[in-house]
Amino acid sequence: MVLGAPRPRHGTLQRRHTMKEAKDMKNRLGIFRRRNESPGANPASKLDKVMKSLKPSPEEALKWGESLEKLLLHKYGLAAFRAFLRTEFSEENLEFWLACEEYKKIKSQSKMVSKAKKIFAEYIAIQSCKEVNLYSYTREHTKENLQNINRCCFDLAQKRIYGLMEKDSYPRFLRSELYLDIINQKKPSPPL
C-alpha cells in the first residue's frame, strides 16, 4: 500500500463486488434476450433459435407471478430466479431446495445415504459453506432423521426454506428489473 493513499473501505469493495456480480449475471442471461434483427440480416444460428424458443412470452412469464411453484416448474423461470438470487448472494436456499428435490428421486439406499450426508454437510450443518437459515429445532430434527435415512429426511427443512423463499426472495424477484424486463419485452415489429 502506498503511503498517504486512501484505503478503500470494505463497503465500497463489497458494493463493487455486488455490481460486478449483477453485471455478470445480466451478461449470462443475455443469451436469452431477443435481438431485433434488421431486415435482410442472416438468419439466426440454431443456438439462437433454441434459446429464443426457451424464452417465455410475456403472458407465460406473468404466470410465474401466481406462485413460486409455477416459477420453479418453468426452466427459464428457474434460471431467472437463480440468477436473481445470485445477485443477492442468497442462492443457497434455492440450491438446497433443488438438492432435496433430486434427493427424493434417488432409488438406491446407498446413494441416498451418501447424498443425505452431503446435503446435510453442505447446507444444514452449522457454519457449512452454504448454510441455510433454519430454526435450531428444524436443524436438530433433520440431524436426527439422518439416523434412519429415507426420502422424507429433509422434508421439514425443505418446507421451511421454501416458505422463506416464498415470503422473502420471491416477492423481491417479482419486483426485480430482471423479471420486469421479461414480462415487458416488446414483440419485434413485422418487416416492412
pLDDT tens track, the chain, 192 positions: 444 444 444 444 444 455 555 555 555 555 444 444 444 444 445 545 544 557 899 999 999 999 999 999 999 999 999 999 999 998 999 999 999 999 999 999 999 999 999 999 999 999 999 999 999 999 999 999 999 999 999 999 999 999 999 999 999 999 999 999 999 986 555 556
Q: Are 130 and 161 in contact (CB under 8 A)?
A: no
Q: Which three cell numbers stand for residue 147?
A: 439416523
Instruction: Give the three cell numbers for residue 123.
Output: 447446507
Q: Tens digits of per-residue pLDDT, 110-134?
A: 999 999 999 999 999 999 999 999 9
The crossing angle, in degrees rounded to 10, of helices 10-29 and 75-87 is 160
Which set of grid coordinates corresponds to residue 127?
A: 457454519
pLDDT at residue 55 in the model:
82
32 and 156 Cβ atoms separated by less than 8 Å: no
Q: What is the largest CA-CA distance in the chain?
A: 69
How many Å apart are CA 91 and CA 130, to the nearest integer? 9
Closest C-alpha to 89, from 17, 170, 171, 182: 17
Which three-class secondary structure state does DSSP give residue 183?
A: helix
Q: What is the pLDDT of residues 79-122, one digit of tens each?
A: 999 999 999 998 999 999 999 999 999 999 999 999 999 999 99
Exposure string over 128-138, b if 16+ CB within 10 A, otherwise e: eeeebebeeeb
**Predicted pLDDT at 190:** 56
CB 68 within 8 A of CB 162: yes
- What is the predicted pLDDT for the residue at 192? 60
Q: How far apart are the first and last CA of the chain?
A: 61
Taking a C-beta distance cutoff of 8 angstroms, is the pair 146, 153 a contact? yes
Predicted structure pTM score? 0.70
Q: State the Cα–Cα distance between residues 93 and 175, nearest whole angstrom.
A: 19
* Model pLDDT, residue 185: 82
Residues with Cβ within 8 Å of 110's Cβ and at least 6 positions away in sequence, in order, are: none
Say if CB 93 and CB 165 are below 8 A apart.
Answer: yes
